[in-house]
Copies of this chain bind each other. A is one copy, B any other.
Amino acid sequence: MEFSANDIAGLLGGEVEGDGSVKVNNVSKIDQGIPGTLAFLANPAYAKYIYTTKASVVLVNRDFQPEDELSCTLIRVDDAYASIAKLLNYYEQSKPKKVGVEQPSFISESASVGEQAYVGAFAYVGEKATIGKNVKIYPNVYIGDGAAIGDDTILYAGVKIYAGCKVGKNCILHAGVVVGSDGFGFAPTSDGSYDKIAQVGNVEIYDNVEIGSNTTIDCATMGSTVINEGVKIDNLVQIAHNVEVGKNTVIVAQVGVAGSAKIGENCMIGGQVGIAGHIRIGNNVKIGAQSGISNNVKDNSTIFGTPAFGHRDFMKSYAVFKNLPQLRSDVIELGRKIKDLDESNS
**Taking beta carbons and an 8 Å cutoff, which residues of A are in contact with B?**
27-29, 32, 45, 81-82, 85, 88-89, 91-93, 102, 104, 106, 120-122, 124, 138-140, 142, 144, 156-158, 160, 162, 172, 174-176, 178, 181-182, 184, 186-187, 192-200, 208, 210, 212-214, 216, 218, 221-223, 230, 232, 234-236, 238, 240, 242, 247-248, 250, 252-254, 256, 258, 265-266, 271-272, 274, 276, 278, 289-290, 292, 294, 306-307, 309, 313, 316-325, 327-328, 330-331, 334-335, 337-338, 341-342, 344-345
Which chain B residues border A266 with CB–CB below 8 Å?
Answer: 192
Known: A176-B178, A200-B92. A252 touches B184 (CB 8 A): yes
Instruction: Check B324 against A216 for contact (C-beta < 8 Å).
Output: no
Give CA–CA (A335, B325) in the complex, Å.
17
Chain B minimum-CB-distance residue to A255:
B254
Known: A200-B27, A250-B194. A160 touches B157 (CB 8 A): yes
Given contacts A142-B157, A178-B214, A274-B290, list 14 more A-B pairs with CB under 8 A.
Answer: A81-B187, A91-B198, A92-B200, A93-B198, A122-B122, A140-B158, A176-B176, A182-B210, A192-B230, A236-B236, A256-B271, A271-B274, A307-B318, A320-B324
Which chain B residues border A91 with CB–CB below 8 Å?
Answer: 198, 200
A106 smallest CB distance to B (angstroms): 4
Top 4 nearest A-B pairs by Cβ distance? A92-B198, A142-B157, A88-B198, A320-B324
Instruction: Check A327 against B322 for contact (C-beta < 8 Å).
Output: no
Instruction: Check A176 against B254 for contact (C-beta < 8 Å).
Output: no
Which chain B residues border A344 with CB–CB below 8 Å?
Answer: 345
A87 smallest CB distance to B (angstroms): 9
Instruction: Check A89 against B274 for contact (C-beta < 8 Å).
Output: no
The complex is assembled from copies of this chain, and their number is: 3
Which chain B residues border A232 with CB–CB below 8 Å?
Answer: 184, 186, 194
A171 smallest CB distance to B (angstroms): 11
Give CA–CA (A28, B224) in the complex, Å.
9
Instruction: Check B345 against A175 for contact (C-beta < 8 Å).
Output: no
Which chain B residues border A139 with CB–CB below 8 Å?
Answer: 106, 124, 142
Which chain B residues border A197 with CB–CB below 8 Å?
Answer: 85, 88-89
Which chain B residues border A193 with CB–CB below 8 Å?
Answer: 208, 230, 248
Which chain B residues border A247 with CB–CB below 8 Å?
Answer: 192
Give CA–CA (A95, B266) in the complex, Å.
39
Instruction: Check A28 against B222 for contact (C-beta < 8 Å).
Output: yes
User: A272: which of B85, B200, B242, B274 is its contact (CB, 8 Å)?
Assistant: B274
Which chain B residues border A45 with CB–CB below 8 Å?
Answer: 278
Which chain B residues border A309 with CB–CB below 8 Å?
Answer: 322
7 contacts between A and B (CB under 8 A): A89-B197, A89-B198, A120-B124, A122-B140, A160-B213, A307-B318, A319-B325
Give CA–CA (A306, B308) in the complex, Å.
12
User: A213: which of B32, B181, B337 is its contact (CB, 8 Å)?
Assistant: B181
Known: A221-B88, A238-B253, A320-B327. A178 touches B184 (CB 8 A): no
